[in-house]
Chain A
Amino acid sequence: EVQLVESGGGLVQPGGSLRLSCAASGLTFNRNAMTWVRQAPGKGLEWVSSIYDNGDSTYYADSVKGRFTISRDNSKNTLSLQMNTLRAEDTAIYYCATGRGTYWGRGTLVIVAS
């Protein structure tokens, strides 16, 4: 059974940083592109970032480009999202998913507020 488990969410002040992690099991991690998607409270889904299976290529939504960094450790089956210079509008549930969304985690909540 494929499992994606996000962690690292919490309350952070505007301008602060947070690092999200996603632990993957039940799949050949190093053969899967991975993606972060977020959902602000009561809003729709927003694609945030993706990374190719070997980590060589990364892509970002304009709303997070220059502030967020996606990375992966294939030796640990782990996906990460480093989020810097956080804004109130980054408040959302952050989901980890395989490339084009075959599998999803349950999400981790990030709240940016003072």
Chain B
Amino acid sequence: DVVMTQSPLSLPVTLGQPASISCRSSQSLVHRDGNIYLNWFQQRPGQSPRRLIYKVSNRDSGVPDRISGSGSGTDFTLKISRVEAEDVATYYCIQGTHWPYTFGQGTKLEIK
């Protein structure tokens, strides 16, 4: 199975400052169709997960442009350019290239 490793697992950030979360896969996530199925989800306390980014860098509808995804191969990053209070949540990456799909452990973002 593909192992997804996120870091850090805890991320204290000052309001207005940037934040960055790393997600590394144990093998390439390039699908035979040429796509890379690496998605990012946000889960606020007490809520269902919400997809933010699909296929590495595509923002879902309603996601602010201060949130971005990048990466290739086995190394991926979620960035928030200026953290706001509404960003307090746990963030997960998931690979959807290889069965079984696998999530990272989650990164808990909190306000410092």
Interface residues of A (CB under 8 A from B): 35, 37, 44-47, 50, 59-62, 95, 97, 100-102, 104-107
Contacts and interface: CB of A to CB of B under 8 A. Distances in A.
B100 interface: yes
B106 A104 contact: no
B54 interface: yes
B86 to A, nearest CB: 18
Nearest to A46: B103
A107 B41 CA distance: 16
Given A44-B105, A107-B48, 19 more contacts: A35-B101, A44-B90, A44-B92, A44-B103, A45-B41, A45-B92, A45-B106, A59-B99, A59-B101, A97-B49, A100-B37, A100-B54, A100-B96, A101-B49, A101-B51, A102-B54, A102-B60, A104-B48, A106-B48
Contact of A101 (B39, B90, B100, B105): B39
Main secondary structure of the interface of A (DSSP, over half): strand
A102 B63 CA distance: 12
25 contacts: A35-B101, A44-B103, A44-B104, A44-B105, A45-B49, A45-B103, A47-B100, A47-B103, A50-B101, A59-B101, A61-B100, A95-B48, A100-B37, A100-B39, A100-B54, A101-B41, A101-B49, A101-B51, A101-B54, A101-B94, A102-B54, A102-B60, A104-B49, A106-B48, A107-B48
